[in-house]
A = this chain, B = another copy of it.
């Protein structure tokens, strides 16, 4: 049975309209690819499984990203997590490789594979041009996955890169395969918004890898759904994390993207999060506007930026779209049994919808 997205059952977040797909891929050029690894069941046998993990890659545009980086910024609400490439994002205000998401222990493998991917596409990189530092972030899927077994391989990254598409799969797929969100099954969720600003009509999309929170904390549209649905049968030990990716075609600088990145946690907060100590809560934001060939001959680059005072439209879109992405990750993820009989239950949709109706949050 196919699980619906939040908006399909009539839930809306804020007043801004979503884009045509209501996905991060509504930002022209942005595509997402997953490799999902599911093998075995039963007790954990390190190195053998059960395997419930994967890789998700986000490609900001269709050109040569290494030559034509996108302006970017990151913000870590809570730095209990990894972000390979963090220093370079901040120093140059840009991202020049695909963004890889995976489980914590596989960050090195995914970084390595992304470097190889960029080298292949750029025969002069690290020879007559700069070296390559990829962007990779992670959450910990040890509750369901044999994460010590380190089952993600370079080929899985390459497969995800080959499969990038605008039709983003959500739920227990890719890097989200083994993740849990508020102790329900979580993973990948996405959403988007269209904003009308004095600078024009722009699209902003978000994608989350959700793996954070305790059951009692979950709030949907202000309703304490987690508390009302009751505690899980088995508590997971690790405290999870969440990676939030914000993409836009609005003409914003790296400084303005930092401002966007700082708003994503406000959407996270609306779902009940208080950002646990062990939760790496990381935001990566990029814009597909103002892309230049950095190896070109032009000594002066011309950028076109919105005024800061008009960013409020994008701030609102970031908050609402992040909130919706998290709820989508819950709506779309099916119950998953992993190692040692650990089960992450899909959010019970009928009961959830009933609760929202009782609280007058749904038509």
Contact = CB atoms under 8 A, between A and B. Distances in A.
Interface of A: 44, 76-88, 90-93, 103-105, 107-116, 119, 125-128, 130-134, 140, 142, 147-148, 150, 197-200, 219, 221-224, 237-238, 251, 253-255, 259, 262-263, 265-270, 273-278, 280, 282, 294, 299-312, 315-316, 318-319, 358-361
9 contacts: A86-B87, A105-B131, A127-B142, A266-B274, A269-B269, A269-B270, A277-B312, A294-B307, A303-B303
Given A126-B105, A265-B265, A275-B263, A301 B312 contact: no
B79 A88 contact: yes
B299 A302 contact: no
Smallest CB-CB A-B distances: 6 pairs: A222-B222, A108-B112, A79-B91, A108-B111, A79-B87, A269-B269
B104 A132 contact: yes
A168 to B, nearest CB: 24
A294 B277 CA distance: 14
Contacts of A308: 92, 277
B93 A87 contact: no
The residue in A87, A238, A304, A318 that gathers the most chain B C-beta atoms within 10 A of its C-beta is A87
Task: Give the number of copies in the complex.
Answer: 4
